[in-house]
Amino acid sequence: DTAVSQTPKYLVTQMGNDKSIKCEQNLGHDTMYWYKQDSKKFLKIMFSYNNKELIINETVPNRFSPKSPDKAHLNLHINSLELGDSAVYFCASSPPEDRVWGYTFGSGTRLTVV
């Protein structure tokens, strides 16, 4: 049973296209996140949702739009893809606000824009 699952694992697409990445967690966690990891492995938080409500929205282009239909799902839609969007995108989840708990990560979606 995969705790945090993302689809697809790989995504190759042309510039200008619109694509979505899906994330689901079966841990019963209240909070979900999207992170972007660049080629140097640097992790940058993009969005955080708590029980379907947006609580963190870092400075990302508005071409990126998260959607949370329920607290077990957090999808990421990207419009008008650009070369610089190529990266690995990770979904994560965590229990309610409590500093002792870590995040559980999905295995990532490698996005390549050509």
Partner 1 sequence: GDSVTQMEGPVTLSEEAFLTINCTYTATGYPSLFWYVQYPGEGLQLLLKATKADDKGSNKGFEATYRKETTSFHLEKGSVQVSDSAVYFCALRGTGNQFYFGTGTSLTVIP
Query: Site residues (CB under 8 A) for partner 1?
Result: 4, 31, 40-43, 45, 48, 50, 55-56, 90, 92, 94, 97, 99-108
Q: Tell me the two tokens of residue 6.
A: 């993302």
Report in angstroms how near the CB of residue 105 gets to partner 1 at its nearest: 4
Give dist(CA 54, CA 49) in Å, integer. Answer: 4
Q: Confirm if 48 and 29 have CB atoms less than 8 A apart.
A: no
Q: Choose between 31 and 68: whose C-beta lies nearer to partner 1.
A: 31
Report in angstroms how near the CB of residue 16 gets to partner 1 at its nearest: 28
Q: Choose between 19 and 110: whose C-beta lies nearer to partner 1.
A: 110
Close Cβ partners of 32 (under 8 Å, ≥ 6 residues apart): 23, 25, 48, 49, 68, 71, 73, 74, 91, 92, 93
Q: Choose between 33 and 78: whose C-beta lies nearer to partner 1.
A: 33
Report in angstroms how near the CB of residue 14 gets to partner 1 at its nearest: 24
